[in-house]
Amino acid sequence: MFPAVTRRFALGLAGVGGVAAALTSCGAGADYKGEAKLDRYDTSAGPYEPATQEHPSKNVPVPIKPDNMGENSVAGLHATICYFAASLQYMMNTGDSQHLKDIRFDREDLKSYTDVAELFDDKTWLSEVTVTIELTTSAPIRNTDGYQWPAKLTMKQGDFALIRGKVSQVPQNRKLVQSEGDITGRYVEGSWNLSTPKKR
């Protein structure tokens, strides 16, 4: 569901349809309810410059993988979701999906995100995109295959988008997209596999 919402956000915000015809040990007992927020970014490229109608965002802070992402723990799953949210925001502002590729997804989910990234180029970008994932429970729910974590995805963007070199104003009712569902996490070979949220 999140991949579909991400694609719809990229294609539909400014009439862009024509562009493309969650354990054990560490973390147990902690309260993770709220925004899954990454703490560390690489800002060495210089001061961040928001997108304008002349150029896309510059020096976008680069997400840094949390050291505990590989832990088989609630904390490890939470760290992976934090990195996911930050990497998705990075992609929507730069068109670069490399950090999403650091995360293990179901194959169709990863393809959905990389397909969105391919919509962006030197003549197509969005303005001031923010992505948040809010975890709506303090801890994930265990199931037979792993863990499920109820969550809400929120994506917002600014006033305009550049589509194939042409400026398009974003209607007020398309500046925000939200979706709710369960992020499913399975620990596989040293990392967390995240799958598409399913409606509850």
pLDDT at residue 21, rounded to an integer: 31
* DSSP of the chain: -HHHHHHHHHHHTTTGGGG-----STTTT----EE-----EE-TT-S-B---SSS--BSPPEE---TTTT-SSHHHHHHHHHHHHHHHHHHHHHS--TTGGGSEE-HHHHHHHHHHHTT-BTTBEESS-EEEEEE-SSSPEEETTEEEEEEEEEEE--SEEEETTEEEEPPGGGSEEEEEEEEEEEEETTEEEEEEEE--
pLDDT at 67 over 80: yes
pLDDT at residue 10, rounded to an integer: 65
Name the pairing type of β-strands 41-42 and 166-169.
unpaired
Task: Round the average pLDDT of the chain to a whole number and report it.
Answer: 88
CATH code for the structural domain at 34-195 = 3.10.450
Name the pairing type of β-strands 104-105 and 62-63.
unpaired
* 29: CB partners within 8 A, 6+ apart: none
| Residue range 114-137, pLDDT digits in tens | 899 999 999 999 999 999 999 999
| Residue range 2-28, pLDDT digits in tens | 666 666 666 555 444 433 333 443 455
pLDDT at 141 over 60: yes
Q: Would you tell me the crossing angle of helices 107-117 and 74-94 to the nearest 10 degrees? A: 30
Q: pLDDT confidence of 106, banded at 50, 70, 90?
A: confident
- Over residues 37-41, the mean pLDDT reads 98
pLDDT at residue 4, rounded to an integer: 63
pLDDT at residue 109, rounded to an integer: 85
Residue 102 CA from chain centroid, whole number: 13
